[in-house]
Amino acid sequence: MTRFDQYRAGSRPRFPVLLSGAALVSALGLVLAAGTATAGTGPAAQGSSAEASPAVQQGTGQVKPVRLTLPEPTGPHRIGTLALHLVDHSRRDPWKPAKAARELMVQLWYPARSVTGHPRAPWLSPGVAALQLRGLPTGTVRLPDSHGHLGAPVDRLRGGRAVVLFSHGFGADRASGTALVEDLVSHGYVVAAIDHTYDAGAVEFPGGRVETHAASSPPPDFDDPENPVATKAVAARQADVRFVLDRLGALNRGQHVPPGRRTLPEGFKGALDLSRVGVFGHSLGGATSAAAMHADARIRAGVNLDGAMFGPVLRTGLDRPFLLVGSSGHGRDNDRSWAALWPRLRGWRLQLQLQGSAHSSFTDLQVLLRQHSLGLPPEQIDEMIGTIDGPRSVLIQRIYLRAFFDRHLLGSPSRLLAGPSPRWPEMRFVP
């Protein structure tokens, strides 16, 4: 049963999953693994059912497609990007054991010295984009471009730049957090966004081969911290993170350039400071952040954006900084995994809650679904992304995420993390 079937049947499980259904949302497969939306009031709620409708071109009768856009990054740096095909020959694929090696796609984002002559990268690869638009009438929607420029030369910093890893939700993909990733890069970070093959909705490899979700049917119970499928997924993902970190180290030394790529962007060698590494993720990617920190001491700080937690970290905890950010109504009082982890966080810790948000507010859908409904009814959109104003929600998330990594990777403390801000009242500090 898909999440759409559950809605049609009148059943709304606390942790519904988008693994199939309609258009873009079905392909992103965003797991609703952390609480439900609360009704908003005032200006933030006024646009809750808004949709940009396709316009009819005057005199032709033809429908002009709606072009979706991502928010502009707020930092001063231009952005370069490239896709890396990485193969881990040390392990079989956990979801398809017949495959003798684990294959990953990683999108690397970095500050660029110049972007002249380097086109903007699409938000999604062509094969994944085709899957995500399946089911919509042809020509009604155009997916966004990213703000990253393909293969642009690296803007080097003496000593290298801090590195942050991004992990997507179960059934989603590496593009789902692009608005947050790009903003970090525009402020000087290098970010590696990982596709976790076979629990991602779809991953396109060089040559156009697309591998789709194969991790679980039916999807796991995210209410259960001991759920075996979710626990298996997190174990595979933390191994992915560690492998990617190893490969970034080799690439930073100018070694092991991935197959199909003869060179890396100009200036890449030595551009990373791998003594300053952080990780963040949404939904099961948030659980991956904690699991990767638990398994790898190289990771100094981590963030969980609205995800239930799984694995050994719930028993042993962490001794380094960790931030929990929940949607409205999601916190330690109704998530057993958060309640179990909290007293075992022995380093710097903080729990925040973004009022008016819902689980998918922490993805690019926060803004995209207000530009076009993609065939979803308004009430379902509100349950997915809440009633908070989309651009403001993204801005608040960007500001707090960057403040966290600035403090714990760059040594630049911010009063923003010390207590509630009258400028950002939507972000509640949970004692």
3-state SS of 266-282 is: CCCCCCEEEEEEEEEEE
Q: Flag whether 342 is in a domain.
A: yes
pLDDT of residue 58: 45
- The separation between CA 311 and the C-alpha centre of its own chain, rounded to angstroms, equals 20
Among 59-73, 231-245, 304-318, which stretch is predicted with the lowest mean pLDDT?
Answer: 59-73
pLDDT of residue 78: 98
Burial class (CB in 10 A: 0-12, 13-18, 19+), 343: exposed
Parallel/antiparallel/unpaired status of strands 78-88 and 102-112: antiparallel
Q: Flag whether 258 is in a domain.
A: yes
pLDDT band for position 29 (cuts 50, 70, 90): very low
Number of domains in the chain: 1
Q: Flag whether 423 is in a domain.
A: yes
The CATH number that applies at residue 379 is 3.40.50.1820
Q: Flag whether 25 is in a domain.
A: yes
Is the pLDDT confidence value at 16 over 60?
Answer: no
| Average pLDDT estimate for 208-219 | 89
Question: What stretches of 327-375 show up as alpha helix (H) in DSSP?
Answer: 336-341, 365-371
Q: Flag whether 54 is in a domain.
A: no
Q: Flag whether 57 is in a domain.
A: no
pLDDT band for position 314 (cuts 50, 70, 90): very high
- Domain range holding 119? 18-37+64-430
Is the pLDDT confidence value at 215 over 90?
Answer: no
Q: Flag whether 59 is in a domain.
A: no
pLDDT of residue 259: 63
Sheet strands (E) in 229-381: 272-282, 299-305, 322-327, 349-354
Q: Flag whether 163 is in a domain.
A: yes
Is the pLDDT confidence value at 60 over 80?
Answer: no
Helix pair angle (228-252, 284-295), 10° resolution: 60
Cα 364 to Cα 377: distance, rounded to the nearest angstrom: 18
What is the rounded average pLDDT for all residues in the chain?
Answer: 87
* Torsion of the alpha carbons at 286, 287, 291 and 293, rounded to the nearest 10: 20
Q: What is the pTM of this model?
A: 0.88
Is the pLDDT confidence value at 10 over 70?
Answer: no
* Eight-class DSSP state of 209: -
Which percentage of the chain shows pLDDT scores above 70? 84
Which residues have CB under 8 Å from 228's CB, separation 6+?
220
| Average pLDDT estimate for 48-59 | 41
Is the pLDDT confidence value at 329 over 80?
Answer: yes
Other CB atoms closer than 10 Å to residue 198's CB: what's the count?
21
For residue range 159-178, what is the model confidence (pLDDT) as tens digits? 999 999 999 999 999 999 99
